Structures are given as structure tokens and as C-alpha cells.
Amino acid sequence: MSSKTLYFVAGETSGDEHGAALMRALRELEPNLEFIGRGGPGMKAIAGKDLTDWIATAGVLGLWEVVKHYGYFRAQFRATLDEITNSRPAGVILIDYPGFNLRLARALRERLPTLRIIYYISPQVWAWNRGRIRAMARSLNLMLCIFPFEAELYNRSGLRTIFVGHPMMENLGARRVVTIRDPNLVGLFPGSRLREVRKIFPIMLATASEIAQRLPNVRFEVAAASEARASECAQLLRRGSLSLDKIKIVVRETSAIMQRACVGVIASGTATLEATYFRLPFVLVYKVAWLTYFAARLLVRVKYLGMPNVLAKREIVREFIQHAARPRSIANVVLSLMNDLSARQQMISEFDAIVSRLGDSGASLEAARSILKEIGAEA
């Protein structure tokens, strides 16, 4: 086993961002560390050739999509398990991505009983199956969580857990720009996954058409996560009824759009916390395949989907989910947030309270210290 090697597994764009930040913090504390595993372009830029960039194919969404790609994930699971067995790293860092990573943790514990397995960005099992926490405690050595209420919940169930703060805080602070909000600009944030874009962006476009009919001077900017997603959005835009001079697709400028827009329409996910940080009033929209939706209805035990609402324990942001995601209804709330100064300010005040509970800007460094201590390599 190499005392200088850590194996990482991240399967989504947000996990790649958090993984890259964690790698930088680890290198700051222990410059001789080597990183291998699976992640995205951000992690690969730091780790080099021994890390596989699989984000484009690994980041599928929902039960039906996973079933359709079962053969691929089965092959990747076996390959990952074999890579870890053969490389014998000092520790394995699993970043979010619970469908794959929790199964991997169980398999690793059976195959390599003494391996240090650390989970970063805890899976939201508290939302859909708290009974799994005790099973996780048997597989994991340490959980590093990013929301304060999670540490108490996991520790109470026997899973040793440390709250390190939310890594998004350190990233977003560096993305602040000097700008003023455009009262006629609405930001559209359809998500980073292809399935999300195809399901959610047409609803956003129909909503934009509704708004444009009632507000002639309105404009829209679409935050595309990549060139590929921008191309998909452009294809969907050409099929819609919204005038092309009303809308612009912008690649990799999510934070900038959030700071210059008046209101946002956002797909559920990490972008909702990003909007919270940047104090952008918004509505949440989400739609998945019906099989995935019905399965989720049976499993999910929390009242709200959006993390700002989960953290506030009430609906401070309107949620339009599945059959409720009707363009006219969404447009009504967006227009209200554009025109009602009191409603805007109330939402922003709620956002400030949430951000204050998510820790300062040292989450990645705190997580790195905890990992080095866990593998016995304190800097």
C-alpha cells in the first residue's frame, strides 16, 4: 500500500469541482501526495494521466437512465474495484455520487477490510432512506459532511462524521463580480446533465414566452454548463416560439449571470445554493422521467426538494415539480419576484441566514486535514 497515494471517485460535474478543490488543499498540506481514480476535467488537471475523466458518461440522472446504462456502470464498477485492489492506496475518497459510491464502499470493505474509506459530500440518505446510515457506518471509516445538521444525524447512528463546511463557499467568493442587476434580465439555469436539459429547458422556454408576452422589455440568458449543453439548448430553442433576439446562451458563466440577473429559473441541484449565495431571487423547476418520479415519491421522506428550503425547513423558494411545472404558473411567480420589492427582499434575507450557517471559506482545507489525519499522514 502506498502511503502517498489517494484514490478518488467523483461522477458528476459538482463532484469534480469539489474534488479538484480538495486535491489542491491536500497538496498544499502534503505536496508529495499522488492522486489516481475517476473524476472530471478539473480533477484530471491536477492528478494527471492516472485519473480517468469519465464525467460525460457517468453523470446520468434517475432510475430509468441508470437502468438503460446498466451494462456500462457494471463494467465501470468492476474496473474501479480492481484498480483500487491493485493500487492499494492509503485511502479512498468517495465524493457524493451515492448510487455508485455506496455500493463501491461496501464491496471495498469486503475485499479490503483495512482500507481507509472516506466519504466527502455526504449522500442525502436522510432524505430518502435513513435506515441506510447504519449500513454506511459498517463500510466507511469517516464521513465529511457539508451541512451542519448532517453531522449530528450521522454520529447518532454510529457513523463517525465531521462537519467541514460547504466547499461552495470558497469557490463562489472568488467568482464575485462588480455589477448591478438588470431589472429586465431573467436567468435560466437548466442543469448540467443532458437529461435535465432535455426535460427542463423546454419548460423554461415556454415560461420565458409567457413572461415575454406580459413584459415586452424582458430578456433571458441561459447558463449552459458546457459547449455540448449549449448546443442542445440551441436546438431546443429553435423548436420553440420565443423570439431569438430575446435570449442568449452563455457557456460557463453561471455565477456571472446570477449576479446580473433580476430573477432566476433554476433546475434543482447545486445551482440553487449558488443562487442563494449570490442573493438571486429564483423559482425551482424540476422534471424527470415518470418512472424515476414515481420511484422517488415512494422513497423521499423530506417535504422539499430544494436545499434552501430543506435548510430553512419551510418553502422560501417556490418549487414547481413534475406535473406542477406549468409555464404559466412559473411565469406568474417570476413576474411577482421581478415586481414585488418586499417579496424579493424577504427571500434575500432568508438566503443570508442560510449562507451564514454553511461555514466560512475553509471547507476544502478542513476536509484535507481530516483526511490526512485519518490515513495517518498529518502535515
Q: What is the pLDDT of residues 268-284, one digit of tens each?
A: 988 999 999 999 999 99
Band of pLDDT at residue 291, cut at 50, 70 and 90: low
**Mean pLDDT of the residues in the chain:** 90
Between CA 33 and CA 7 the distance in angstroms is 11
Question: 246: exposed, middle or buried (C-beta count within 10 Å: 0-12, 13-18, 19+)?
Answer: middle
Between CA 284 and CA 268 the distance in angstroms is 6
368: left (phi over 0), alpha (psi -120 to 50) or beta: alpha
pLDDT in tens, 88-146: 999 999 999 988 999 999 999 999 999 999 999 988 766 555 667 888 999 999 999 99
Cα dist from 324 to 203, 239, 294, 367, whole Å:
11, 23, 14, 39
Residue pair 23/46 in contact by the 8 Å Cβ criterion: yes
Domains and CATH numbers, the chain: 2-165+362-374 (3.40.50.2000), 185-356 (3.40.50.2000)
Paired with 117 in beta bridges are 92
Residue 132 is classified by DSSP as H
Whether residue 296 is predicted with pLDDT greater than 80 in this model: the reply is no
Between CA 145 and CA 255 the distance in angstroms is 24
Angle (deg, nearest 10), helices 13-29 and 363-374: 70
pLDDT in tens, 31-63: 999 999 999 999 999 999 999 999 888 866 555
Between CA 27 and CA 19 the distance in angstroms is 12
Paired with 116 in beta bridges are 91
